[in-house]
Amino acid sequence: MKSILIKDTTKEEREQIIKQSLDCGGGGCENCSSCWLGGGSPWDMYQDYIDGCREIAEINAEYNARYLHG
């Protein structure tokens, strides 16, 4: 499996990673709950990753922290 880290991917590859991971807008929904749990659009949520600003793990940790700490 190829690395999904920003340093190992291009912007186009990161867009494809998000599209394949979430499958939102491309034929189905994996029920990630982002939309209805306040995350908003998954595309907006992961835009920092696509733009090369923050790793997926950082974004997920921040999102999860909102619900673990009330």
**57-63 contacts, C-beta under 8 A, 24 or more apart:** 63/34, 63/39
What is the pLDDT at residue 3? 97
What is the pLDDT at residue 23? 67
Render pLDDT for 11-34 as a digit per residue (tens, 0 to 9): 999 999 988 887 655 555 555 555
What is the pLDDT at residue 11? 97
Q: Mean pLDDT, to the nearest integer, of 5-13?
A: 98
Q: Mean pLDDT, to the nearest integer, of 36-60?
A: 85
